[in-house]
Structure formats: structure tokens, C-alpha cells
Amino acid sequence: MDRMQQQTLLATTADRRRAAELRDFLVYHNHRYHTLDSPEISDAEYDAAFRELVALEERFPELRSPDSPTRRVGGEVLDKLETRLHRRRMYSLDNVFSIEEWEAFLKRMKNALPEADSVFWCDPKMDGLALELGYEEGEFSFALTRGNGSVGEVVTAAMRTVRDLPKRLSAGFPRYIEIRGEVLFRRQDFERMNEKQRNEGGKIFANARNAAAGSIRQLNTSITAARPLRFLAYGLGAVDWGDEAAAPLWTSHAELMARLQAWGFETPPRGRLCRTSEEVIAYYNEVLTRRETLSYDIDGVVMKANDLEAQEALGHTARAPRFAVAWKFPAQQAVTRLLDITVQVGRTGVLTPVAELEPVQIGGALVTRATLHNEDEIRKRDVRIGDKVFVRRAGDVIPEVVSAALDERSPDATPYVFPHHCPSCGMPAHRIEGESAWRCVNLSCPAMLRQSITHFVSKAGLDIEGLGQRWTEMLVSSGRVRTPADLFTLTVQELLKYERMGARLAGKFVASLDTARREATLQRLICALGIRHVGEQTAKTLAAAYVDMDALGKADIEELQQLPDIGPEVASSIRAFFEDESNRILLRRLHEQGVWPVQRQEDAGASKKGALGGKKILFTGTLSIPRSKAQTLAEDAGAEVVGGVSRKLDFLVAGEAPGSKLDKARALGIDVLDEDGFMALLRQDQDS
Ligand code: IVH
């Protein structure tokens, strides 16, 4: 449709009704989110409705209205806190969701300002509460929430309790300056705090953002003081240099960020300059894949034109700047209907309740099932069949049902009763004291056999190509394969008897079993056996310490516990595995079939190396512990501490006031960690 035609279109009654409906919907959910800190729908649903309304208003200008949520910034103001005008309006950001939309933004920006370049300061979009801090003559003087963009709530007293907040700026500050950023919790701090709230019967927060908002908008600041809030700075409001002659200390956004850091502000992690549209796209992908490793919740990345003059020239629309845009990550949470709860039997016999869902898109994947963990979790979350439920999917982890939307529950929904029998073999299930799992203890339960063989051939096990779930199930249900050892006796002739099995496929199966027999490593085999509590990392440790399965089988609990990261629970589970007669038979048969890897040279001694094993690491800036201590910790984890930044460096750990090493490392694209990131890496080493 061309432009002329488009302009003459008039909205139908249905369009009008829909626009009004969307407006009400958005106003209501805006209020829940920004003012009450208690959202009922996912961000993705909000965004979808918002975009639908924008599209309608663009198509039919008559439907636009000044009070439409599309022209407003976000929250309203709670009347219990004192309010105050922002000197400069605090805008929201426009969102893009794809490469095409990012490129369209860039094109729009360049149309508006042809001399603009493509250099952007990029940093993660912190999922916290937007805040403005005022400093007069270098002294912290006030803190204001964004509120509705024009008027914010005064939260000065609450912000004074935030420990890492600079209360004074060091030399070279303007007479008056407003620093904008986000107040929020580190994920770990948030979880610890929620745990505490739970134990003390306090309010449980839905997420770190709501917790931060709830903590800062407190009249009683002793509550705020008890919560480990942080402030991350990413921009400025009004600035008054006082003396006309005083030269600004920065001319670009990158320089501004360096200045904020020099003043002692924490800034969003991994912020850096991207010089082309391609670099921005690469940045987005990089942060998206590393999302889970950051210590904060983020929901996208933000790109800001680096040239401050260009920022000024581009200015703002009614809602958002024209020089900056947020590229949101696919949502990790969505709402859908719980159609049924089924129960799956795992390879160790654990009965896991599975939510059968009305299919829903989350983070770019269609989700139809999600875990409900166990009986206790279902009860705790009070999830019932027929409920509308929040489903979360983060990275590669299995989607989970987080909670039910209680407002929408049907009156006849009844609590779920967990089965006390194995759904596969029908035998009574057991729930062990102190554990939340029900288990089937029937060793020949077909579901368990199927699962343990599926695990044995999977990527986590021997990674036997081509033997997918479907064939594993056929082989197990026909009774031909009862243990992993049976796989290695399969012949082409036998396989050909199965329906849909051709000569080529059968030949491929036998060949890949042969490859697995020859190439299996000790670590892979240990993993493949599915010993309880023994994952990849423990398997690695064991493969480094023992020459083969026989040697491992002879180790007693005390000896096993001498190994790094192996505690009493893991050690006894390994012992229990070898004491089981059927496992001993399985190992004997694997040995007979030639599936008997021995320790490799490169594995031996690897247990001394951790996640940092063989990595080159360098420290810069001030840490909260002595540098020598940090270096020892790194060395104990297998790292080599080096003296300078080069391409060979694996990690730079940057403390406060990091200096030029940090810039150099960033320029070389080397992984930069802050102190918490470094500690998390060490811990990861211990956990695995
Ligand atoms: S720059 C010039 N950078 O997200 C625009 N904002 O949804 C100023 N936000 O209003 C914002 N992380 O409160 C910027 N790294 C970041 C951010 C960020 C979170 C907030 C900010 C903004 C909101 C829009």
C-alpha cells in the first residue's frame, strides 16, 4: 500500500475498540510494573501489546492521543514519598528486537543527522530501577527515581545507605552534576536475600528488579540499609560547570564512562566502543551468549552514539532519545496454560513431574513442556492443572514453571496429588527421608533402562552418533538391549529385523558403535555410566587419578575424598555404584566387549588444574583482598599469573581504578572480569 492510500484510511470501530483495549491493558500493566513493583505479565507480552498499539496509531493518526501509553515513559509516582521535578526529563529507550530493526534505527538516525557516524558505546541493559543522583560541589546531595520522567520520588536517604555509592567526587567535577544509572542487586545477593526473607517469613520478591525497586522506595531506610543494593552509572542528566571557562572533562560517551569510573562509580559490565554496525551486532551476540555468566540480570544491550555533539543534535522524541536504542534479548519468561502434569522416570529412578503446556514461544524456541521439579515444589508454587502459569527458560537450561497466575484460577482447580507408583512399571515408589524426590526402585523398570541407555549414548556419555532416542527406545522395548553392554553385541543382521531399518543405517550404527569402542576415553565412560553425583568435572578428576575402571572400583571412600572437589556424598555414591552386583557385571561385560579405556597421558594430573587450568591471568587495579592473595588463589586453581597484557592473556581481572591495562585488554578483546566474576570462576571450579 502506498503512502497516499495509507493516509486516507480511517479506523474502523474494531480498530478503535482494539486501540482502547490496548491502552487500558498497557496502563494497567505499567502501573503493576513501575508503581506497584509487582508485574502480572511478562515483558514480552507487554512489548507485543505496546508494538501493536504503536502500529495502530501509526496507521490511523486519528487514534493517537496525548495520554496514550505510547507517549509516556513508564511509572507514576507513589504518593507516600516526597516528589520533585527532574531538571532534565528522564526518558525511556526505544527497543529493537532484530538485526533488521537495529539497522533501521541506524538508518533513521543517519537520516536525521547525515554527518553522524556508526561509533556506539555499547553496554548491557541493566534490569533495575532507573535513578538520578545529584552532586553539588562534588558532594552527593539527592537521589530521585525516574517516576514518570518529569517528576520523580526523592530517595536520597535510602541511597545514602548504598555502600558502594561515591558520596564525594574526586577532583575535576562540575559545580553541579546529575548522574544517571540503575539501582539493582547482584543476582547472588538477591538470591541470598530472598532466602533470608523466606526463612524469616518476609515478602519473597519475584525478581531482582522488583526487589531493588521495593528496597529503594522505602520510607524506613533501615530496611534499605540491610539490603545489598548497588548503583551502576551509565549517563548524565543536567550538568553545570559553573565557570564558563572550565573545559568539560569528556567529549565522548566513552570518555564520560571512564570519568564515572574514575569517580568510583560502578558501570555496566562489559561496556565498550563498537565502531561499525557489524561490531554492534557481534557485541549483541557476545553479551547474549554470556548473559548467564554476568553477576547482574540484564535484558538486552544499549547502544549510545559515542559523539556527544551528535547526541545533542539528535535530541529526543516524546518518549526516547534518537541517539540511543535498546536491543532487547528474547524474553526468558512467558505465560501459558498448564494442560496437564505427567511424571517422567529418570535413569536413577527419580520421578520428575513435567508440565504439559499450551505451546508458547520463549526466547526464540517453542516450549511445550517444562519441569515442575518435584512434589514439594509443586506444592510450594501451588500449581494446579488448568492454571495460567509463568514459564521461564534461561539459556540452555530446561524450562521451568515458576508460579501460577492465581487471579485467573478456575474455582474448581484442585491441588495436584503426586503419584505414589512408578508410571512406567507400576511398582510402588518410595520417598526417602530428607529428600524431595520420589523414586522407582525397580532395577528392571523399562523407563529407567531406557533413560540410562539414552544417557550412555548421549553427548554427555560416549556420544554414539546416530543412536537417537527413537532407536534406543525400540531396542530397549524389544528386550534386545537391557544394559549398555548389550549395545556392543548388536550386528547388522539383527538390526535389519527392525522396521524402518535399512542396510545403510544398520551399517552406520554398527560402525559408530565400533568407533565408540575404540575411541571412548576413561572420562567419557565414567560419565556415561551415570553414577549419581558424578558429572563431567568429577569424571575428569577421577580419570586423572585412576588408570582404569578396575582401579577406580578399588578406591575406598577415604581415598576418593582426597581428590579435589570430592566430598563424602560423591565418594559414597561412587562406592555404592561399584558395590552393586549388576554394575560389576556391566563393567565385566563392557571389558569383554573391548569398551575399556585406560587413562591417557594428557588426563593424568589434570585434576590439579581447575577451570583456570593452564590459563594466563593478570590482575590490575585495587581489589578488596591483597593482590598477592588473589594471585595465589588463581595459581592454586591452575592459572599462570603473567606480567602484561598480550594476545595470549586469557583473563584480566580488573579491580577499582584499573588504568591502561584494562583499555589494552578491551582493545584486544580479552575477557575482563571484575573481582566477583573472578571469585565466581574459582567457585565454579570448586562446585563442579
Ligand atoms: S542509557 C539516553 N544504558 O533502561 C538514554 N539505559 O528501558 C539513557 N537502562 O531509561 C539510557 N541499562 O533507565 C542506558 N546500560 C544502559 C541501561 C539503561 C538500563 C534503563 C534506563 C532506560 C531504560 C529504558
Write out the DSSP string of 219-271: SSHHHHHTS--EEEEEEEEEEE-SSTTPPPS-SBHHHHHHHHHHTT-B--TT-
Residue that the C-alpha cell 538390526 belongs to: 495
Range in 132-141, 219-228, 608-617 the model is least confident about? 608-617
In this structure, the residue with its CA closest to atom 8 of ligand 1 is 235
Q: What is the pLDDT of residue 7?
A: 45
| Ligand 1 neighbour 321 (Cβ under 6 A) | yes
- The CA 236 to ligand 1 mean position distance, Å, reads 11
The conformational region for residue 442 under phi > 0 = left, psi -120 to 50 = alpha, else beta, is beta
Question: Which of 596, 597, 577 minimizes the C-alpha distance to 588?
Answer: 596
- The CA 273 to ligand 1 mean position distance, Å, reads 16
| Ligand 1 neighbour 387 (Cβ under 6 A) | no
What is the b/e burial string over 323-337, where b = at least 16 CB atoms within 10 angstroms of the residue's CB? bbbbbbbbbbbbbbe
E strand residue ranges, 248-364: 272-274, 298-305, 324-328, 333-345, 350-362
Q: Name the residue of 46, 144, 234 to mutate for ligand 1: max ligand atoms within 8 A of Cβ.
A: 234
Q: What is the pLDDT of residue 265?
A: 96
Q: Quick check: 325 and 303 in contact, CB under 8 A?
A: yes
Q: Name the residue of 72, 129, 182 to mutate for ligand 1: max ligand atoms within 8 A of Cβ.
A: 182
Range in 10-14, 158-162, 444-448 the model is least confident about? 10-14
Closest-lying ligand 1 atom to the alpha carbon of residue 301 = 15
In this structure, the residue with its CA closest to atom 12 of ligand 1 is 125
User: For the chain, how many helices (H) and strands (E)?
Assistant: 26, 22
pLDDT band with cut points at 50, 70 and 90 for residue 180: very high
- The CA 253 to ligand 1 mean position distance, Å, reads 14
Closest-lying ligand 1 atom to the alpha carbon of residue 268 = 15
Q: Quick check: 433 and 423 in contact, CB under 8 A?
A: no
Q: What is the arithmetic mean of pLDDT over 339-363? A: 92
- The CA 549 to ligand 1 mean position distance, Å, reads 55
pLDDT band with cut points at 50, 70 and 90 for residue 306: very high
Q: What is the pLDDT of residue 72?
A: 63
Chain-centre distance of CA 685, in angstroms? 19
For strand 640-641 and strand 616-620, is the pairing parallel, antiparallel, or unpaired?
parallel
Q: Name the residue of 94, 230, 302 to mutate for ligand 1: max ligand atoms within 8 A of Cβ.
A: 302
pLDDT band with cut points at 50, 70 and 90 for residue 276: very high
- The CA 254 to ligand 1 mean position distance, Å, reads 16
Closest-lying ligand 1 atom to the alpha carbon of residue 93 = 24
Q: Which amino acid is at 596?
A: W
Q: What is the pLDDT of residue 245?
A: 63
- The CA 676 to ligand 1 mean position distance, Å, reads 23
Indicate the SS3 state at residue 137: coil
- The CA 93 to ligand 1 mean position distance, Å, reads 6
Q: What is the pLDDT of residue 686?
A: 58
Catalytic option among 80, 107, 110, 125: 125
Distance CA 90, CA 182 (A): 12
In this structure, the residue with its CA closest to atom 9 of ligand 1 is 125
Distance CA 154, CA 140 (A): 13
Q: What is the arithmetic mean of pLDDT over 122-143? A: 96
| Ligand 1 neighbour 326 (Cβ under 6 A) | yes
Here the cell at position 219 is 520510607
Range in 124-128, 165-169, 643-647 the model is least confident about? 643-647
pLDDT band with cut points at 50, 70 and 90 for residue 285: very high
The conformational region for residue 481 under phi > 0 = left, psi -120 to 50 = alpha, else beta, is beta
pLDDT band with cut points at 50, 70 and 90 for residue 77: very low
Q: What is the pLDDT of residue 6?
A: 42
- The CA 302 to ligand 1 mean position distance, Å, reads 7
**125 in active site:** yes
| Ligand 1 neighbour 212 (Cβ under 6 A) | no
Here the cell at position 564 is 579435589
Indicate the SS3 state at residue 207: coil
Q: Per-residue pLDDT tens for 602-632?
A: 777 554 456 687 788 999 988 888 888 888 8
Q: Name the residue of 30, 46, 90, 125 to mutate for ligand 1: max ligand atoms within 8 A of Cβ.
A: 125
pLDDT > 90? residue 366: no
CB-hemisphere CA count at 13 Å for 449? Answer: 25
Q: Per-residue pLDDT tens for 391-443?
A: 988 766 789 998 898 888 889 899 999 999 999 999 999 998 888 899 998 87
Closest-lying ligand 1 atom to the alpha carbon of residue 130 = 13
pLDDT > 70? residue 4: no
| Ligand 1 neighbour 302 (Cβ under 6 A) | yes
Q: What is the pLDDT of residue 264?
A: 93
DSSP symbol at 35 = I
| Ligand 1 neighbour 231 (Cβ under 6 A) | no
Helix axes 208-216, 187-199, angle to 10 degrees: 70
pLDDT > 60? residue 1: no
Range in 19-28, 65-74, 610-619 the model is least confident about? 65-74
What are 663-670's contacts with CB under 8 Å, separation 24+? 665/618, 666/272, 670/645
| Ligand 1 neighbour 618 (Cβ under 6 A) | no
pLDDT > 90? residue 307: yes
pLDDT band with cut points at 50, 70 and 90 for residue 444: confident
Bridge partners, residue 129, by sequence: 183
- The CA 329 to ligand 1 mean position distance, Å, reads 14
Distance CA 150, CA 178 (A): 14
Range in 50-64, 161-175, 438-452, 540-554 the model is least confident about? 50-64
What stretch of H or E contains 131? Answer: strand 129-136
pLDDT band with cut points at 50, 70 and 90 for residue 688: very low
Q: Which residue has the higher pLDDT, 111 or 407?
A: 111
Q: What is the pLDDT of residue 606?
A: 53
Q: What is the pLDDT of residue 66?
A: 66
Distance CA 302, CA 291 (A): 14
Q: What share of the chain is helix, strand, coil (3-state, %, to 5)?
A: 40, 20, 40
Distance CA 625, CA 15 (A): 62
In this structure, the residue with its CA closest to atom 13 of ligand 1 is 130
pLDDT > 50? residue 5: no
| Ligand 1 neighbour 234 (Cβ under 6 A) | yes
Chain-centre distance of CA 625, in angstroms? 28
> Whole-number mean pLDDT of the chain?
88
Range in 261-265, 460-464, 526-530 the model is least confident about? 460-464
State percent of the chain over pLDDT 70: 94
Q: Quick check: 539 and 523 in contact, CB under 8 A?
A: yes
Range in 108-112, 460-464, 489-493 the model is least confident about? 460-464
Q: What is the pLDDT of residue 38?
A: 74
Q: What is the pLDDT of residue 73?
A: 55
Q: What is the pLDDT of residue 244?
A: 64
Q: Quick check: 145 and 216 in contact, CB under 8 A?
A: yes
Residues contacting residue 641 through CB under 8 Å, at least 6 positions apart:
617, 618, 619, 631, 634, 635
Q: Quick check: 325 and 105 in contact, CB under 8 A?
A: yes
Q: Quick check: 352 and 363 in contact, CB under 8 A?
A: no
Here the cell at position 183 is 539501582
| Ligand 1 neighbour 324 (Cβ under 6 A) | yes
| Ligand 1 neighbour 92 (Cβ under 6 A) | yes
Q: What is the pLDDT of residue 605?
A: 57
Q: What is the pLDDT of residue 395?
A: 63
Q: Name the residue of 46, 89, 121, 126 to mutate for ligand 1: max ligand atoms within 8 A of Cβ.
A: 126
What stretch of H or E contains 144? Answer: strand 139-145
For strand 129-136 and strand 324-328, is the pairing parallel, antiparallel, or unpaired?
unpaired
Q: Quick check: 268 and 234 in contact, CB under 8 A?
A: yes
- The CA 322 to ligand 1 mean position distance, Å, reads 13
Question: Which of 134, 230, 129, 242 minimizes the C-alpha distance to 179?
Answer: 134
What pTM value is reported for the model? 0.55
| Ligand 1 neighbour 266 (Cβ under 6 A) | no
pLDDT > 90? residue 337: yes
